[in-house]
């Protein structure tokens, strides 16, 4: 992962919320919220909350008596999340997942949607999650499956490799779709001090939009892929986005588009 892969700033948070959240994140947010609610926590911590799509779903699913804390490395993403709002009070706090500012054994559940792929040291992040979990507490998170199993992302990545053949932008395959091996995830959790066997599940869904322009804008301009595109010579951001929209339309049709998405859900219990 490069230094810019975890930077969500400038115009990215607003475009991320407008395009990517309904496109790919909302289907999995409801699933993760259901899993968190079934654990009946008194205190729950979200790491890498982004613009709050899961936070909102969890806030709807939990009792008002539950204390919900949502954190992210990027204050701009939390500002966007807080501006949208939640069904019940949430404590928003900027925090680095590798150095969580909470006492040991503080939470019954730690959850994260599509964030662990961005952690530069995944073992350290998992170790921090284990530290702040109460004995017998649960860590639940999801990660994207391989980019080939996620249609729009795969089209965008392949198209940009054609637009910039000398220096293809690799953000999507490298980071959000780059942590997919269940054995590697299990090994990292074990190295972080989790002794239980994690449960891995695969969940396939569909990503739908009114036109091919929506996923092109979401990926090219509402994610750190934007930074990679803007760093390159040749086609500018608008031209690269247009090329991706045209490629999606060729594959999925000129009107509303429907693409396959696939993720893995991982659940593990902290040691007693």
Residue 160 confidence (pLDDT) above 80: yes
pLDDT tens per residue, range 230-266: 999 999 999 999 999 999 999 999 899 999 999 999 9
Residue 54 belongs to what H/E stretch? helix 53-61
Q: Report DSSP letters for 127-169, one per residue.
A: HHHHHHEEEEEEEEEEEE--GGGSHHHHHHHHHHHHHSTTS--
Residue 9 confidence (pLDDT) above 80: no
Which of 105, 59, 111 has its CA nearest to residue 268? 111
**pLDDT score of 7:** 75
Percent helix, strand, coil in the chain, to 5, is: 45, 20, 30
Q: 99 CB contacts (<8 Å, ≥6 apart)? A: 128
Q: Structural domain tally of the chain?
A: 1
Question: C-alpha angle with apex 37: 127 to 54, nearest 5 degrees?
Answer: 70
Query: What is the pLDDT of the chain when averaged over all its residues?
Result: 95
Residues in the chain: 272
142 within 8 A of 114, measured Cβ to Cβ? yes
Residue 2 confidence (pLDDT) above 90: no
12 within 8 A of 226, measured Cβ to Cβ? yes
Rounded to two decimals, the pTM is: 0.94
Residue 98 confidence (pLDDT) above 70: yes
What average pLDDT does this structure show over 6-17? 86
**pLDDT score of 254:** 87
Domain at 41, CATH number? 3.40.50.150
Which of 23, 11, 57 has its CA nearest to residue 37? 57
Question: What is the span of the domain harbouring residue 108?
Answer: 3-269
pLDDT tens per residue, range 171-196: 999 999 999 999 999 999 999 999 99
**pLDDT score of 147:** 98
């Amino acid at each position: 992962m490069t230094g810019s892969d975890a930077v969500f700033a400038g115009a990215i948070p607003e475009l991320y919320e407008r395009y990517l959240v309904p496109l790919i994140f909302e289907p999995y947010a409801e699933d993760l919220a259901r899993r968190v609610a079934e654990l009946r926590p008194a205190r729950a911590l979200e790491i890498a909350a982004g613009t709050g799509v899961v936070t909102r779903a969890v806030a709807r699913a939990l009792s008002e008596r539950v204390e919900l804390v949502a954190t992210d490395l990027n204050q701009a993403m939390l500002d966007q999340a807080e501006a949208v709002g939640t069904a019940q009070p949430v404590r928003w706090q900027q925090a680095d997942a590798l150095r969580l500012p909470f006492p040991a054994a503080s939470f019954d559940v730690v959850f994260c949607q599509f964030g662990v792929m961005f952690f530069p040291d995944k073992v350290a992040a998992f170790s921090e999650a284990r530290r702040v979990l109460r004995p017998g507490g649960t860590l639940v998170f999801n990660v994207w499956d391989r980019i080939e199993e996620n249609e729009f992302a795969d089209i965008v990545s392949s198209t940009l490799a054609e637009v910039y053949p000398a220096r293809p932008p690799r953000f999507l395959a490298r980071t959000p779709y780059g942590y997919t091996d269940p054995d590697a995830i299990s090994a990292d959790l074990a190295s972080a001090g989790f002794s239980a066997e994690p449960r891995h599940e695969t969940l396939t869904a569909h990503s739908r939009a009114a036109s091919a322009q929506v996923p092109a804008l979401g990926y090219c301009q509402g994610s750190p892929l934007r930074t990679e595109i803007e760093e390159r010579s040749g086609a500018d951001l608008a031209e690269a986005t247009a090329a991706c929209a045209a490629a999606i339309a060729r594959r999925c049709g000129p009107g509303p588009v429907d693409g396959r998405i696939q993720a893995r859900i991982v659940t593990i219990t902290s040691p007693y």
